[in-house]
Amino acid sequence: MAPTTQDRVVLLDEAGGETGTAARAAVHTTDTPLHLAFSSYLVDAAGRVLITRRSLSKVAWPGVWTNSCCGHPRPGEDVADAARRRIRQELGLTVRDLRCALPNFRYRATDVTGIVENELCPVFWGRVDPAELQPDPDEVIEHAWVEWPDLVAAVRATPQVFSPWSVSQVPLLEGGPSLTREPGSRSAGHRTVSEFLGDVDRLLRSEVAELQQRWSELTGGAPAEVLPGHLPDWLSEQLSAGGKRLRIRLVHWGHLAAGGDSEPTAYAQLVRLASALEVLHQFALVHDDVMDQSASRRGRPSAYVEATRAHIAAAGRGGAERFGENLAILLGDLAHSLADQLVDPLPAEQRALWYRLCTELIAGQGADLTGAAAGRRDRAHSEQVARLKSSRYSVERLLELGALAAGAGPAQRAALLECGQHLGRIFALRDDFLGVWGDPELTGKPAGDDLAEAKATVILALATDRLTGAAAEALERLGTRDQRPDDVAVVTEALDAAGIRTEIEEMIAAEVSCCDTLLDTAPLTPAGVAGLRAEVRAIAWRDS
């Protein structure tokens, strides 16, 4: 292979198609294009996983702990072959069994230096012999063989000492299924989270491609005007922008906990249901940003901001901001339409619960808006909004839908519903916490946005009851025309001083304890319980 090819990476478009190559040394900048990479987790015969610490000479993320080995395929090189090659070069190890666990993993992260990683990065499991290990000191300065539960705990407790890609990958690897059996193998009767996510992604790509074809027929193949592409193209881009995939995972765990398996017809229905939920979530995000006037989402401009900028760039007629909001609303409407289309073939009981979920989501958003206009800051109102808009939509109904698809009995459904109520409160409380104290680099949204908008949250209700003096006056101005530039900072400082930040953390910890107690005796499958316990902790202490 020519030297010029050996040191080049494969560039990708948003759909994952190859668009060309670039020099590896030059591609990682403050504006890194999407490109192909890989990550690997290597295990020994005892089931321990190898973690490595990046050399201090690395340009980005020097000295952080990470997974076993990462790298980039060369142009024309199979990704698995590239992983084997790089593992041998960097660690001196020969992989005896390499299986892909997360074929569609994608992430974007920014180092403190401003350098960006932007990769479609399949994740592999592999088996190796530790006696062969000979790390390249230019790449690895330390290594350790650790038990998988210990790695999971460490990543959740101290994510700042690990690479951002490993922090995102570890929760998706389903508790390390490859550490107790052959990598990639499947327990009888059910599919892993990674397999389920892959099946959902494949269905979504197929459904969006069909929508794009229908749209092309409607427009006669004419190019889009003002916008870079037609609405289905835009929706495809939004759906591929990443995210935690929380809702898909909860449907999976609800199904598995209730004894669901991979019987072809039932499993196909479950994949369709989870795909619909993913598209519905896109509808909710796009419309929510318009209503809240949030300028960014997942570290990118919100949809209405993108459309506004496109209008300005095209010197379009009429108001650019109004155009941006209108097109974003249409984008959300299209997402909701596609979600309903996905649900249409499902059994009647599943469709009924789906439409109930949709109604609760809209009712919660409506209560949020009207309550804000009416100046509602009481705790009863904030908890009602959180239950409808966050808890039920993001957690409770998803576990219930998964259980329903599994044919769960009354006792199992009751247990999952109760677990979902606790976990839903955890989700809503952490969401409120991040809206005030979250790191914008991780949340993708400006810090203090929820306070600036005087959103109906438990934090706002506690603040209303406890703050006094200048802080109470600043709090009263939030969300009004009288708001001053420093009011959010004043209120945030007062919340800390009043112990509200600590109290929210204690409330979350109490709900986690309730979940654990419930799951100890719930009539659910051991695999499902283990998955739910992991999700409880991932949701409780997430930072985005």
Classify residue 279: in a domain, yes or no: yes
d(CA 76, CA 86): 15
- Are 123 and 18 contained in the same domain? yes
Closest among 364, 420, 423 to 396, alpha carbons compared: 420
Is residue 252 part of an annotated ligand binding site? Answer: no
Same domain, yes or no: 98 and 158? yes
The helix or strand, by DSSP H or E, that contains position 183, with its residue range, turns out to be: none
205 shares a domain with 133: no
Boundary residue ending a domain (112, 145, 172): 172
Structural domain ending residue among the three candidates 142, 172, 202:
172
449 within a domain of the structure (yes/no): no
Distances (CA, A) of 519 to 376, 404, 514: 36, 19, 9
**Could you please report the per-residue DSSP string of 506-544?**
HHHHHHHHHHHHHHHH-SS-HHHHHHHHHHHHHHHT---
Domain's final residue, options 172, 203, 224: 172
534 lies in some domain: no
Give the 3-state secondary structure of residue 468.
coil
The residue segments making up the domain with residue 274 are 190-346
Does 196 lie in the same domain as 95?
no
Residues 6+ apart with CB under 8 A from 218: none
Q: Comparing C-alpha atoms, which of 135, 70, 109, 121 is closest to residue 439?
A: 109
Concerning whether 119 is annotated as a catalytic residue, the answer is: yes
35 is in an annotated binding site: yes
Task: Let me know if residue 208 belongs to a domain.
Answer: yes
Q: Are residues 103 and 55 in the same domain?
A: yes
Is residue 490 situated within a structural domain? no
Is residue 50 domain-shared with residue 134, that is, in the same domain? yes
State the catalytic residue, choosing from 69, 100, 119, 514.
119
Residue 402 counted as domain residue:
no
Catalytic choice (14, 18, 69, 70): 70
117 annotated as belonging to a binding site for a ligand: yes
What's the domain count of the chain? 2
**Residue 447 domain-assigned?**
no
Burial class from Cβ neighbours inside 10 Å (0-12, 13-18, 19+) for residue 265 reads exposed
217 plus 342 within the same structural domain: yes
Question: 30 with 150, same domain?
Answer: yes
Q: Are residues 162 and 202 in the same domain?
A: no
Are residue 50 and residue 154 in the same domain, yes or no? yes
Residue that the structure tokens 């309730």 belong to: 514
pLDDT of residue 190: 64
Q: Examine the domain organization and report whether 39 and 93 are in the same domain.
A: yes
- Residue 146's CATH number: 3.90.79.10
Return the bridge partners of 544, or none: none
Q: Give yes or no: 473 in active site.
A: no
Residues 519 and 513: their CA atoms lie apart, in Å, by 10
- 544 residues of the chain, pLDDT tens digit each: 344 556 889 999 887 889 999 988 888 888 899 999 999 999 998 888 999 999 999 988 999 999 999 999 999 999 999 999 999 999 999 998 888 888 878 888 989 888 999 999 999 999 999 999 999 999 999 999 998 888 888 887 888 899 999 988 887 775 554 433 333 333 334 678 888 888 898 889 889 998 998 899 999 989 999 999 999 999 999 998 767 788 899 999 999 999 887 777 778 889 999 999 999 999 999 999 999 888 887 778 999 999 999 999 999 999 999 999 999 999 999 999 999 999 988 888 999 999 999 999 999 999 988 988 888 889 999 899 888 888 888 899 999 999 998 889 899 999 999 999 999 999 999 989 998 998 887 776 777 778 888 888 999 999 999 999 999 999 999 988 999 999 999 999 999 999 999 999 999 999 999 999 999 999 999 989 999 999 999 899 888 7
Which residues share a beta bridge with 8? Answer: 23
CATH number at residue 257: 1.10.600.10
278 assigned binding-site residue: no
Residue 235 lies in a domain: yes
Q: Are residues 147 and 271 in the same domain?
A: no
